[in-house]
A and B are shown apart, each in its own frame.
Chain A
Amino acid sequence: MPAHRIKINPIVLAAAPGIALLLIFFAIPLANLTVRSLTDPEFGLGNYKAVLGSQTYLRVGWRTIWISFLAMSGCVLIGTPVAYAIAHSKRRALVVATLAVLGLSFLTSSLIRAFAWMILFGAQGPIVAILNAAGLDVHTLLATQVAVVVGMIHFLLPIYALTAFAGFRNMPFDLVVAAEGLGASRWYALRTVYFPLALPSIINAGSLVFVIALGFFITPALLGGPSEMMLGQLIAISISKFGDFGFAAAAGVLLMVITLFLLSAVQWVSKAGQRQ
């Protein structure tokens, strides 16, 4: 027997580089940002008061949450069946093709995708042409909520579908088969057996895309108008035009706190639901 050495849990060891990375690239800048928000230009809560006292920021803040919620809902509605199909389909070619499409669109830059939508939704784009052919009098779809939410869903869908797929893949599909064997219809089995078990994966994937959506900047800037303005755009202006780091930091910290609050509420509700 070799001499006893200090035992390091191999999991901790494996996680160490990741933790160090998170610390350097997230924890420290985040702490830095928070300090900035409290000290720039002077010590105190002035920046927070300014953000919370601004009708514009409150309005745009809630709008940001609402638009992100819409985009997330779209991802859940469209992405869940896709994730289900690639997780359980027996047709390999279909699975590989779907994964390839998701992966490829995930790799395309958000800027290029937003510009593409700008043309598609624009006055000379096909969507306007179709709507007009159908008898609707539409000039352009730019600067509409539809354009922004569609553009955001387009960006977020691969992230949602791939995350949900990773959860769905490990689900015991046998249970659905067993339920069908006991006389349940496929739809009834999915609804009562599969869905409750899949819910945590849906919530996780949904929360992930919701958080990403909150930080959107390019998509609402190119596809939206003032009614779809998101917090990222206001923060960008306060930095690029005025160098207001403290104010921008406070707005960022507030958005983060609200996000964390919303996410913990969702987690709490979903846990409570599972216990029942």
Chain B
Amino acid sequence: MKNRGMISKTSIGAIVATLLLHVSHAQSQETLTISASGGSYDACVKAAYLDGWEKETGIKVVVGGGAWDLGVWRAQQETGKTEWDVATSDPGQLRQLVRNGWVMPIDPELPNKNGGLVDFPGLVPKFDGKIYALPTEIFSTVVTYNSKAFKGDKPKTWADVFNAKKYPGKRLFSNVPVDFGVLEVALLADGVAPENLYPLDIDRALKKLDSIKSDILWYDFGTQQVALLQQGDAVIGAGWDGRVKALQRDGGTIEFSTEQAIVKPDLWILPKGGNSELGARFLAFIDNPERQAKFATCIGYAPALRKAYDLLPANQKFTVDPNNLKGVVVWNDEYWAKNARDVTARFNEWLTK
């Protein structure tokens, strides 16, 4: 997910939102509750999707708590109090949700409508012939650095991130490997080809990380990602292109390289126990080239609908062109869904040593 920030606030937000939801359900007619994703993402969702939806359908949208926390999902599903009618998700979490039976299948024809989706591997995973998510855009984890830190050559590859001689200073990584790909990054830096990346060679990745361990600054929350680079506590690391672009718009000096990007789609799903009928209507509403083009322009992530590309401003460029995936690393959700627990345990053992 894009925003792992404020975990503690998530649960509080979820509880408050659930309470409010019950009040509002009791009082008024239909509303649509969607999950929050935080920051610029939510602002773009509102501008590209929600405003138009409210105008067209007259159904008010409530933005609830974040849906990235599996603990919140489990608490809601066990108590039968689903907060969201639609939620955002990522491919790894989707597999866990499907496995637990916490999401509803979506219209299998939806991804083929409106000109269909870009040709991106694993964009619409099938589970027993059913699909459970609508991908709307593709975002990247990229080599990110503070441009003020390096006078000469700018860093381009993951190997540069691990080259502390040429690019001295602290390296910034998240301490949660399942979301942020630090192990993938280490292996790519060590020369593993993208097609041979999975299954991850954990020993090799940790050995590579050992080579710069004292130079790494680890962060816990997505909000720290660009903040610590901008503040100068770290000079280089792994970041999300959308966050970097948002910071650049605010006058930050953070830049990123488009080489060796690790890409993942953003997904929209229908949580079990929500108003799936209304949720499905919303999915059909956002599966629309004009709206996705508007969203993509706002957030800077490449849209999933092929036709959306014809509607973009001429100067609009994305980190990754989904029609040209050469040198791009596709994050393997299947691998992570199977191994996240073990890999995280091994990683934490190494991290806290």
Can you pick out 19 interface pairs between chain A and chain B where the beta carbons lie within 8 Å of each other?
Answer: A54-B345, A54-B349, A56-B348, A60-B352, A139-B233, A140-B170, A140-B233, A222-B221, A225-B217, A225-B218, A229-B175, A236-B8, A237-B176, A240-B7, A240-B72, A241-B70, A241-B178, A243-B70, A243-B73
For the complex, is B351 an interface residue (Cβ under 8 Å from A)? Answer: yes
The A/B interface has a contact count, at CB < 8 Å, of: 88
> Main SS of chain B's interface residues?
helix
CB distance from B170 to the nearest CB of A (A): 7
CB distance from B256 to the nearest CB of A (A): 20
The answer to whether A84 has its CB under 8 Å from any CB of chain B is no
Contact of A240 among B70, B348, B351 (CB under 8 A): B70
Given A56-B349, A140-B217, the answer on whether A124 and B232 have CB atoms closer than 8 Å is: yes
Partner-B contacts on A (CB < 8 A): 54-56, 59-60, 63, 111, 119, 122-124, 139-140, 142-143, 217-218, 221-222, 225-227, 229, 233-234, 236-237, 239-243, 245
A222 touching B233, Cβ below 8 Å: no
* Closest 6 pairs (CB-CB, A-B): A239-B71, A221-B220, A123-B232, A243-B70, A243-B74, A240-B69
| A227 and chain B: residue at smallest CB distance | B352
Q: Is the CB of B71 within 8 A of A56?
A: no
Q: Does B275 have its Cβ within 8 Å of any Cβ on chain A?
A: no
Tell me the bound Cα distance from A242 to B340 in angstroms. Answer: 8
A242 in complex: contacting residue of B68, B70, B170, CB < 8 Å? B70
Of B4, B74, B352, most A-chain CB atoms within 10 Å = B352
Q: Select from chain B the residue with minimum beta-carbon distance to A218.
A: B8
When distances are taken between beta carbons in the complex, the residues of chain B under 8 Å from A225 are: 217-218
B7–A123 CB distance below 8 A: no
Neighbouring A residues of B221 by C-beta, 8 Å: 221-222
Closest to A139 in B: B170
B217-241 CB mask vs A (1 if < 8 Å, else 0) is: 1101100100010011100000000
B78's closest neighbor in chain A, by CB? A245
User: A142 contacts B217, CB within 8 Å?
Assistant: yes
A222–B220 contact, CB under 8 A?
yes
Q: Measured between C-beta atoms, what is the minimum distance from A232 to chain B in Å? A: 9
Chain A residues with Cβ below 8 Å from B175 are 226, 229
Give Cα A54 to B179, complex, Å. 22
Is B338's CB within 8 Å of the partner chain A? no
Interface assignment of B344: CB less than 8 Å from any CB of chain A: yes
B81 lies within 8 A of chain A by Cβ: no
Q: A122-B233, A221-B221, A225-B217 are in contact. Are A241 and B340 (CB under 8 A)?
A: yes
Interface string of B320-348 (1 = CB under 8 A from A): 00000000000000000000110011001
Of the candidates B9, B175, B176, B348, the one having the most CB atoms from chain A within 10 angstroms of its own CB is B348
What residues on B are CB-neighbors of A237 within 8 Å? 176, 344, 348
Q: Which of A56, A139, A218, A239 is the one whose CB lies under 8 Å from B352?
A: A56
Residues of B contacting A236 with CB < 8 Å? 7-8
- Nearest-neighbor residue (CB-CB) of A121 within chain B: B233
Q: State in angstroms the CA–CA spacing of A225 and B175 once bound together.
A: 9
**CB-CB < 8 A to A140: which residues of B?**
170, 217, 232-233
In the assembled complex, the Cα of A111 lies from the Cα of B71 at a distance in Å of 21
What are the residues of chain A within 8 A of B232 when measuring CB–CB?
122-124, 140
Q: Which of B69, B74, B351 contacts A245 (CB 8 A)?
A: B74
Q: Say how far A77's CB is from chain B's closest CB, in angstroms.
A: 28
Interface contact B231-A119, CB-CB below 8 Å = yes
Q: Which residue of B lies closest to A236 (CB)?
A: B7
Known: A225-B218, A233-B220, A243-B73. A122 touches B231 (CB 8 A): yes
